[in-house]
Amino acid sequence: MTVERIEKVFLILAGAMLVVFLLALFYSAFGMGMHLPDREGEIVPTEVRNTPPFDNPGVREVEPGRYEVVVLGRAWAFEPDEIRVPAGAEIDFISTATDVIHGFHVEGTRMNAMLIPGQITRMTYVFDEPGEHLIICHEFCGLGHHLMYGRVIVE
C-alpha cells in the first residue's frame, strides 16, 4: 500500500465519521428534542433567598396538569431535597445556585443542567410513569459534594 492510498483511506474515513457525528447531533436535537436548558434570566446571587420565586422553593400547581418546581442548589444540598409530582403532568423546573456552580441531573431522564450563581435555569419535563428518580450534583462543589443529592418521586 502506498502512502497516497493510505492518506485517501484516512480522509474518506475521517469524512464519513464527520457525517455520522453530524447526523447524530441533528437527530438528538430535532428527532429526540434534546437541547440546552433555557437561560431564563439573571438574579443577584446574594439576594436569591429574598427574590421570588426562590424565597419559597418547592412544588406548586400552576394550572391543572402543570406544575412549577423551584429548586435551589447550595453547599451540598438541594432545596427541596424531595420533590413529589404526579405522573403525566408537565413540570417546569426553575433553578439557580446560591454559592458555587452545582450540577442538576435527574437520573433516568434527559434533564441535566448546571446551576450557576446569578443565572436562572428553566427545564420542562413530563414524567410518564410513577417511580423514584435520584437527583445528583455532577459538578464538583467542595468537600461535601458526594453528599449532595435529592429525589423526584413521581406518584
Q: What is the pLDDT of residues 76-114, one digit of tens each?
A: 999 999 999 999 999 999 999 999 999 999 999 989 999
Name the architecture of domain 38-154. Sandwich (2.60)
Asked if residue 35 has pLDDT above 70, the reply is no
Model-level pTM?
Answer: 0.74
> What integer pLDDT is reported at residue 97 of this predicted model?
93
Classified as helix, coil or strand, 8 is: helix
